Chain A
Amino acid sequence: MISIKNLHASIGDKEILRGINLEVKAGEVHAIMGPNGSGKSTLSSVLAGREDYNVTEGEVTFNGKNLLELSPEDRAREGLFLAFQYPVEIPGVSNVNFLRTAVNEIRKYHGQEEMPAKDFLALVKEKSKLVELDAKLASRSVNEGFSGGEKKRNEIFQMAMLNPKLAILDETDSGLDIDALRIVATGVNKLKSKDNATIVITHYQRLLDYIVPDFVHILYKGRIVKSGGKELALEMEAKGYDEIKAQFERIES
């Protein structure tokens, strides 16, 4: 699905990713954990194509294509989806109009006809149920005046509508109460299949009780310093990141 090799990225003079290696296959769920400032959000931004970051070294192959050469919109059209940590409010653009444009631009990219309005609306209805999103929210402006929980549910709703091959959930659990967390996680789990993959980026283990990962990676100072199974997340939760930090500092010096 996606293969990241020796990825280095910086913002300004500051190098944030310092050689990431990661291989994600179809049907897998990977969790990336790490303390604040370890580079988790930078990794998701670089993969989605945010222009603030410079990739200085390394390569990323996504379904056989050089991901780093693609524009953000082409990455999305190829099936990459980033659920934003801070979804953007866009006053004046209705959720429905936004999604219809997105769905049809993606279809056009693949040489498909526009989706008939009737089918589109049926899809909206079906997928909004998945995350228990009020149908009224679909006609409102994108994220405008949404609560934190509604914004995150809206991200998963969009994910359901666009049906990506690889979804990257960037701190999707932040700012969610336990009920919203359960709804979001249930939505993600229902969308899981043997043909798609998920990368869950999180600070806390909590979300991983609901979205159970096949692999857990610990990111520290721009590198993956430890990988393991789902039990690694529990271990981190119990011990905190201090041990990892200390271990890493020893190696560095």
Chain B
Amino acid sequence: MIETKSNITQTLLDQLQENAPKVDFMPDTEIISAIRYLEEKGIPNNKHEDYKYCNLEAVLRKEFKSVEQSFNELTNADIAPLKLDEAINLVVVNGNYNEALSEKMIVKGLTVKSLNELSASEKILLSSQAKSDTDALIALNAAFTGNGLFLKIETGNIIPMPLHVIYVNSGSSNIVSNTRSFIHIGASADVTLVESFFNIGTGKVFSNFVSEKFVGENAKLTCHTFQNEGALSYSVNTNQVKINKYSNYSNTTMTLSGELVRNNHNVVLADSNCEAHLNGLFISNGTQQIDNHTLIDHQMPHCESNELYKGIAKDKSIGTFNGKIFVRKDAQKTNAYQSSKNILMSDDAIINTKPQLEIYADDVKCSHGTSTGKIDTEALFYLKARGIGEESARKLLLQAFAQELIDKIEIPSLQERVLHLFEKAL
């Protein structure tokens, strides 16, 4: 029998339902409606406009026909190399917040707990930004989420050191991991957050991550996303961010490995005078696919958004940037900028870029630019003519291309980690 589209989703659902994790925070009604949504819509394939270059259904058909959910338990020794020295390290294993592996530190205004431990009033916040009736991957996550992470900074607190959340998956054969986090930054609070993604198991992982982030009035959230999941990983990472009046949100995503990495970074600028900065850098080789989708939704006046995404695609890899900017009717005096720059290192590599601006206000400044090309041969010759060998010259030029993004990482040990992997991948 030829497998139909919906059968692929159904097969996945059946297998996941056999040993679905039990969580308290997700109401049964939500789980049931999420499954219904999935059954109806299916996991998106390339006929879906937003997944034109990222056929998740095909990935599931090819790589995850059977899902065993053979999760590994992890120890401190497994986690130690993933930690960052200057940060408080928190650990989420196969979708579940692991208190035992996390560093305990009493910091004024900081609350860290698992989603199961949420109070009734906190539970209400969940799923308010990541709605399972809007997106198949969010629905999949809602239906099968583990006991993820809740992180809250109370009003007015400045956290003196970075928080580092290590999301690590590990299985001994095919696993599907649904990880969820909720980050709440209270008014006038300020924190730097690193979210790192790893797969240290021997099995293939389909990792479906959903994070809701709320940045309160006059608050500042500086995020770094570090993705180094390796060749056995296929991941979709959805960030649903809502920022408020006078707040500042920034994120820099560094994608250094992963067979398929799809990032959906959606930011709602919900009130006036706030700013969002999204940056990304990837280097891909082999048959890797890196797909960055951003959505910036300017709803209110006097806000600013900046996006800078750069990629280097080697071998037969595929890089995609799709950046959508909405400027709503009320969002007068918006400044929105977007730039995507890419270098193709081989004839077989592919870059897709698609800026989309939808502007409904009349007094705004918006611009977008995109460029894709090969390495600058004039510059290469100039370096060689000074005695610098071909390989060093290429490296110098590619590092120069990436430097402005690497410079955005303000945490030295993370910057070193990125630089090391970046140089290795060149």
A residues contacting B by CB (< 8 A) are 48-51, 71-73, 75-77, 82, 84, 87-93, 97-99, 101-102, 105-106, 109, 141-142, 158, 162
Contacts and interface: CB of A to CB of B under 8 A. Distances in A.
Nearest to A90: B379
B71 interface: no
A142 B383 CA distance: 10
B382 A73 contact: no
A48 B385 contact: yes
B186 to A, nearest CB: 38
Interface-centre pick from A71, A72, A105 (highest chain B CB count, 10 A):
A72
Contact of A91 (B382, B392, B400): B400
A89 B389 CA distance: 18
Contacts of A71: 384, 390
B: contact size bracket: 20 to 34
Q: Is the interface of B mostly helix, strand, loop or mixed?
A: helix
Contact of B400 (A49, A90, A102): A90
A16 to B, nearest CB: 18
Contacts of B385: 48-49, 72-73, 75-76, 82, 84
Nearest to A94: B400
Contacts, number: 73
A71 to B, nearest CB: 7
Contact of B388 (A48, A84, A105): A105
A92 B404 contact: yes
Contacts of B81: none
B400 A106 contact: no
B392 A98 contact: no
Nearest to A143: B382
B386 interface: yes
A213 B395 CA distance: 40
Nearest to A48: B385
Nearest to A99: B386
B32 interface: no
Given A92-B403, A92-B404, A105-B389, A73 B396 contact: no
A108 to B, nearest CB: 9
B382 A90 contact: yes
A92 B401 contact: yes
Interface string B21-54: 0000000000000000000000000000000000
A202 B160 CA distance: 62
Nearest to A78: B387
Nearest to B386: A102
A87 B389 CA distance: 19
Given A92-B399, A105-B392, A98 B384 contact: no
Contact of A162 (B382, B387, B400): B387
Interface string B369-397: 00000001011011111111110110011
Q: Closest 4 interchain pairs by CB?
A: A92-B400, A76-B387, A88-B382, A102-B386
Contacts of B401: 92
A93 B397 contact: yes
A73 B390 contact: yes
A73 B391 CA distance: 11
A167 to B, nearest CB: 12
B379 to A, nearest CB: 5
Interface-centre pick from B396, B399, B401, B403 (highest chain A CB count, 10 A):
B396
Given A88-B378, A102-B387, 18 more contacts: A49-B384, A72-B384, A72-B385, A73-B384, A76-B386, A77-B387, A90-B379, A92-B401, A93-B397, A97-B396, A98-B383, A101-B396, A102-B388, A105-B392, A141-B400, A158-B386, A162-B386, A162-B387
A106 B387 contact: yes
A92 B399 CA distance: 8
Contacts of A88: 376, 378-379, 381-382
Contacts of A84: 382, 385
Nearest to B382: A88
A92 to B, nearest CB: 3
B285 to A, nearest CB: 21
Contacts of A49: 384-385
Contacts of A102: 383, 386-388
A215 B128 CA distance: 82
B311 to A, nearest CB: 16
24 contacts: A49-B384, A50-B381, A72-B381, A72-B384, A73-B385, A73-B389, A76-B386, A76-B387, A77-B387, A82-B385, A84-B382, A88-B379, A90-B376, A90-B400, A91-B400, A92-B399, A93-B396, A93-B397, A98-B386, A101-B396, A102-B387, A102-B388, A105-B389, A106-B387
A50 B381 CA distance: 7
A144 to B, nearest CB: 10
B384 to A, nearest CB: 4
